């Protein structure tokens, strides 16, 4: 299945957004709990949110419209609660000073923590169940989450991430054998892994945040964008094309607004979306998405403006159909 879509915050999901999507050929809606991710709090809040009857009604409406809803979240701190440190310090990462610390991620060379991670991912997939069988439970969103223990020392951050995603993938496939989890190619894990292979079911999700959004991603005169797409070829070799997803920032008004209110008036770069999506399509990505935070009902109420989602869908081309 090819998808094209947008990714918004849980509290932005409303009939307003669904009305905007109705009649377009957007067929994917990602839900991304905001910020504070490394405390695991936003995942816990999203767990409460998804179980509310009013949320379920909105999700059912989206599904009835033919829109696949998926959940995309930095989840390691929820999956491996930090309280477990007292009992299992060796499940947690070693910092550069050789101390086990309970801050981010885990020690992915420890088979016990990977077993635990598989169980918890299965549990989280049961809460955020998707009809597509695609899950996005990402590692912590911090610049230095690596484990420096003797076993992990030889691994890259991407290798470590694949060990964690393989464990999660194993967990979610227990209940849904054809399910899979995304490998988030982003920040410290933007490059392909070197020593660890992804298991069947893992798919690529490419989120090039370190890019210049005022230039096309393939613009050879943008040094930043040249670097941004440099890992793509190898990533697609390692993870394959099936389900490969772009997670772009074209409509990310939360970024444009500095991740703080007031929400700014925002015009998305249509030409860039068209050029970029054509390039991603040629490269072999199947799913094209971007953050579209700070463009929901509150944006409309405070600015009087509305994003032209039909124009966005058209700029993405005929990819999804
Ligand atoms: Zn380790």
Tokens encoding 229: 């797409």
Q: What are phi and psi of 64, to 5 degrees?
A: -65, -25
The kind and range of the H/E element at 72 are strand 68-74
Q: Please tell me the distance between residue 14's alpha carbon and the centre of ligand 1 in angstroms.
A: 42
Q: How many CA atoms lie within 13 A of 107 on its CB side?
A: 25
| 302/124 Cα distance (integer angstroms) | 35
pLDDT at 38: 58
Q: Please tell me the distance between residue 146's alpha carbon and the centre of ligand 1 in angstroms.
A: 8
Q: What are the start-end ranges of the H helices in the chain?
A: 15-21, 41-51, 53-64, 76-79, 111-127, 157-175, 223-229, 232-239, 253-256, 270-283, 297-303, 309-315
Write out the chain's pLDDT in tens, 321 residues: 789 999 999 999 999 999 999 999 999 999 999 766 556 678 999 999 999 999 999 999 999 999 999 999 999 999 999 999 999 999 999 999 999 999 999 999 999 999 999 999 999 999 999 999 999 999 998 888 899 999 999 999 999 999 999 999 999 999 999 999 999 999 999 999 999 999 999 999 999 999 999 999 999 999 999 999 999 999 999 999 999 999 999 999 999 999 899 999 999 999 999 999 999 999 999 999 999 999 999 999 999 999 999 999 999 987 644
pLDDT at 142: 85
pLDDT at 321: 41
pLDDT at 144: 83
Q: Please tell me the distance between residue 114's alpha carbon and the centre of ligand 1 in angstroms.
A: 11
Q: Please tell me the distance between residue 174's alpha carbon and the centre of ligand 1 in angstroms.
A: 26
Q: Please tell me the distance between residue 163's alpha carbon and the centre of ligand 1 in angstroms.
A: 11
Residue 136 β-bridge partners: 72
pLDDT at 39: 60
Which of helix, strand or coil describes residue 274? helix
pLDDT at 35: 66
| 39/55 Cα distance (integer angstroms) | 23
Q: Please tell me the distance between residue 117's alpha carbon and the centre of ligand 1 in angstroms.
A: 15
pLDDT at 232: 98
Q: Please tell me the distance between residue 259's alpha carbon and the centre of ligand 1 in angstroms.
A: 33
Q: What are phi and psi of 43, to 5 degrees?
A: -65, -45
The kind and range of the H/E element at 70 are strand 68-74
Please name which of 240, 245, 230, 273 lies closest in space to residue 134, comparing C-alpha atoms: 245
Specify whether the backbone of 50 is left (phi greater than 0), alpha (psi in -120 to 50) or beta: alpha
Full-model pTM: 0.96
Q: Please tell me the distance between residue 87's alpha carbon and the centre of ligand 1 in angstroms.
A: 17
């Amino acid at each position: 299945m090819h998808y094209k879509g947008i990714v918004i915050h849980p509290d932005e999901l409303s009939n307003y957004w669904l009305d905007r999507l109705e009649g377009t050929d957007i067929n994917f809606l990602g839900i991304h709990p905001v910020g504070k991710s490394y405390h695991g709090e936003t995942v816990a809040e999203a767990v409460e949110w998804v179980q509310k009857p009013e949320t379920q009604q909105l999700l059912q409406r989206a599904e009835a419209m033919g829109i696949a809803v998926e959940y995309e979240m930095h989840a390691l701190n929820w999956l491996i609660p930090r309280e477990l440190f007292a009992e299992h310090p060796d499940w947690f990462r070693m910092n550069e000073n050789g101390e086990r610390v309970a801050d981010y991620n885990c020690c992915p060379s420890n088979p016990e923590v990977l077993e635990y991670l598989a169980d918890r991912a299965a549990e989280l997939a049961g809460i955020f169940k998707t009809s597509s069988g695609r899950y996005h439970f990402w590692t912590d969103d911090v610049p230095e989450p690596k484990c420096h223990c003797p076993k992990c020392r030889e691994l890259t951050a991407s290798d470590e991430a694949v060990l964690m995603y393989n464990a999660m993938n194993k967990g979610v496939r227990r209940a849904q054998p054809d399910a899979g989890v995304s490998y988030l190619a982003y920040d410290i894990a933007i490059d392909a892994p070197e020593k660890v292979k992804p298991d069947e079911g893992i798919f690529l999700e490419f989120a090039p945040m370190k890019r210049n959004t005022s230039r096309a991603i393939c613009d050879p005169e943008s040094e930043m964008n040249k670097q941004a797409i440099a890992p793509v070829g190898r990533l697609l070799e390692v993870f394959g094309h099936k389900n490969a997803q772009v997670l772009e920032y074209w409509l990310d008004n939360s970024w444009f607004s500095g991740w703080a209110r007031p929400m700014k008036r925002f015009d998305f770069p249509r030409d860039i979306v068209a050029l970029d999506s054509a390039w991603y399509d040629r490269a072999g990505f199947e799913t094209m998405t971007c953050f579209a935070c700070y463009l929901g009902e509150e944006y409309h109420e405070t600015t009087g403006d509305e994003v032209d989602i039909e124009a966005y869908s058209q700029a993405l081309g005929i990819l999804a159909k």
